[in-house]
Amino acid sequence: MSVLTDLIYGGSNAVAGLTEGAVNDAIAKYGADHPIAFPDTAYYFPTIYAATGVKVKTLGDLSACVGVLKSLITNQEDLGQALNAGLATAVGAEIIEGLKYAEGGNPYENDSGIGFVPDPIIRSLGVPLVTGDIPGVAVVLGKAENAEDVAKVVKDYQSKGIMTFMVGDVIEQCAEAGVKMGLEFRVIPLGHDVTSVIHVVTVAVRAALIFGNVQPGDLAGLLDYTKNRVPAFVNTFGAIDAVVVSAGAGAIALGFPVVVDIDLGENQVPGALESVCDHNETVKKSLELRNIKIKVTELPIPVAFAAAFEGEIIRKADMHNEMWSSKNPTAELVVMRDLAEVEDHKITIIGPDLDAEKDLALATYVEVAGKKMQVDFEAVIERKFHAWFNYMEGVMHTGQRNQVRVRVSNAAFEAGLRLKDFAEVLYVMIMDEFDAVVDKCQITLITDAAEAEKFRDEIAMPRYAQRDDRLASMTDEAVDRYYTCILCQSFAPAHCCVVTPERLGLCGAVSWLDAKATNELDPNGPCQPILKKGLIDERTGRYEEVNRMINEATHGAVENVTLYSILEDPMTSCGCFECICGIEAVSSGVIVVNREYKGMTPAGMTFGELASCTGGGVQTPGFMGHGRHFIASKKFLYAEGGIARIVWMPKELKDDVAERLNKTAKELYGIENFTDMIADETVTCDAEELMTWLTEKGHPVLNLDPLM
């Protein structure tokens, strides 16, 4: 055997032995019927489930899995067979990690890593992955000879928006070097044991199940998906042993190239296993191997600017400035002007800067002009402020319009961040992302409280009111076209959203106006117009032209779709939906569950179990993924009786949509406070108890015809 295959088999055999012993010990301690599961997933032991179709539920189920694992280790010279042994190592690592959860609780509670990554987090990553906000996934493991080397590499990935998972001593090395870590920074420590690398493998594996409609047991389909649709790669630092090499072989089998920082000489495998001893070249080589191209926008500001900082929380103790509507006037407004009215790149600041006062007003006023600019695009640009401000390291932004909160950290202020930098960010990003419609842009920031209040009341609020009136009149009937959205096809090739004025994309991120603007910015891009031709059935929202466009967009995978029905050819889902609704058979109503909810529902399924019934572009009558905002739409389940079918929601979701949902219910049915009739987990999660509750409340679902 070669040195490489010898190392792979040595590591695989070692892991197999450890796995078999650990399973036997666990069965001896707890019994073969003892339940075993990773937390908050509908996919059992995901690697085993995806590769074999086996649903591991008890310790006894793992004994057969050990047999499968050992069968993959053939000790043959062929590299392909050796990569199978690497997959065996992945299975062994999953079992060893799964056994840590045998006693329940969180085995990583006292560890610097997070361990298993739950399904809802993977679903939440779908949108930034397909939009390119997360252009790739790095796995960094081992112990660097020089801590500064690995910290520099990880910070470089962070600045490029790459999501980085870390395993081993590199976690402490990066922490000591000041690397900001956590899900919110997209630098995620998994754990110290090398087996914890399986937790990033299961992210890739579940992406195939959630988004790609890869069927459990289809190993070839799984490997094809991870190789071609999950842009992941591995970097190892420091000396590598047989187990690390074997784990690397498993990564290569999944299509993830491995870059090591030691000289492997003739044992390198071009395109799959390569040595890069100069750490200044590590990032470049890793991205090249996965063909990841990073678009870098140069910004003249003194802090880092990357999507990785979007979730950064600025605590009060670390805060230098705050601009908050509860304390001072705030507003954010984009207004379209004639070309002659705008002086390009003009920046005006009215009032004190960050070094003058701690608490400030903040009115952000952006005037744009362009030959192709439209009034409808004002709000589309305006909504981007939230992301762009958050991309600045040391800045936290929440809210919109006249309800805004911005915090600046002490560290960002000390680095030199001032208000002109906020204006520069807006100018550069608007001219970069909206260059097809914006030719000129000028920015005014108002921090003087009296001037900000005047701007808010006399200019911003009337403009908001005009837009609200426009949106209120923007119904599905009032427009002559809808739009496709295939942004998610890089992950879910058989899925296509149809976006209408009353039904936004299921991810919650694409409204009809967004889709319209996207089409204007990129006429050949992901959002194509669907002219409203060939109405077949008004009740279900079935159109000949919609069917034609959907069939074309999904390459024949979906032939027919309705816009308003959950039972008849419902719209497909990619997997990154904010909510899912499903039939509750006893009441003949529907439950609506958001992905953040972890508990049981009256339908007898968790969110993950409900979500596993759809996604990946499949049509499952009775289940439908959708955005939060769609719940209060008059077109929600229109064909089946509308919002009157909603009988249960998690309390957090119900409270969030209550104002809009109650307004819709009053307009449609004359019902006051409709959400008081909808049960939640504080009332019951039992179907029979739910029926009693609905009867007591006189819920309108009781007067509707049965769904089935």
pLDDT one-digit tens code per residue, 585-630: 999 999 999 988 989 999 999 998 888 888 778 888 999 999 998 9
Check residue 529 and give its pLDDT: 96
Architecture of the domain made up of 477-703 = 3-Layer(aba) Sandwich (3.40)
Select from 3.30.1650.10, 3.60.15.10, 3.50.50.60, 3.30.360.10 the CATH code of 307-457.
Answer: 3.30.1650.10
pLDDT, one tens digit per residue, over 296-319 is: 777 999 999 988 888 889 999 999
Architecture of the domain made up of 3-289 = 3-Layer(aba) Sandwich (3.40)
**C-alpha span between 624 and 612 (Å, rounded):** 11
pLDDT, one tens digit per residue, over 73-119 is: 887 777 778 888 889 999 999 999 999 999 888 899 877 789 999 99
Confidence of residue 1 (pLDDT cuts 50, 70, 90): very low
Check residue 708 and give its pLDDT: 76
Check residue 126 and give its pLDDT: 81
Where along the chain do its domains lie? 3-289, 307-457, 477-703
- On whether the CB atoms of residues 539 and 639 are closer than 8 A, the answer is yes
Say whether 307-457 and 3-289 share the same fold.
no
Output b/e per residue, 450-466; b: 16+ Cβ within 10 A.
Answer: ebbbebbeeebeebbee
Q: Is the pLDDT of residue 213 over 90?
A: no
Residue 79 token pair: 């590299």
- What's the whole-number average pLDDT of the chain? 92
Of the candidates 285, 209, 197, which has an alpha carbon nearest to the alpha carbon of residue 249?
197
Confidence of residue 424 (pLDDT cuts 50, 70, 90): very high
CA distances 133 to 176, 209, 283, 392, 450, Å, are 27, 22, 17, 14, 38
Helix, strand, or coil here: 3? Answer: helix
Confidence of residue 489 (pLDDT cuts 50, 70, 90): confident
**C-alpha span between 446 and 353 (Å, rounded):** 10
Q: Is the pLDDT of residue 548 over 90?
A: yes
Main-chain dihedrals φ then ψ at residue 449, nearest 5 degrees: -60, -45
Question: What length does the chain have?
Answer: 708
- Find the mean pLDDT for residues 556-560: 92
Task: Name residues whose C-beta falls within 8 Å of residue 573's C-beta, 6 or more positions apart in sequence.
Answer: 492, 495, 506, 580, 614, 615, 616, 617, 618, 624, 625
Task: Name residues whose C-beta falls within 8 Å of residue 103's C-beta, 6 or more positions apart in sequence.
Answer: none
- On whether the CB atoms of residues 180 and 187 are closer than 8 A, the answer is yes
Check residue 289 and give its pLDDT: 95
**C-alpha span between 409 and 394 (Å, rounded):** 5
Check residue 255 and give its pLDDT: 93
pTM for the predicted model, two decimal places: 0.84
Residue 489 CA from chain centroid, whole number: 14
> Which residues make beta-bridge pairs with 648?
591, 679
Residue 464, CB half-sphere, CA atoms under 13 Å: how many? 16
Cα end-to-end span (Å), the chain: 63
Confidence of residue 363 (pLDDT cuts 50, 70, 90): very high
| Segment among 6-15, 47-56, 315-324, 388-397 with least mean pLDDT | 6-15
Do the strands 258-260 and 535-537 form a parallel or antiparallel pair, or are they unpaired? Answer: unpaired
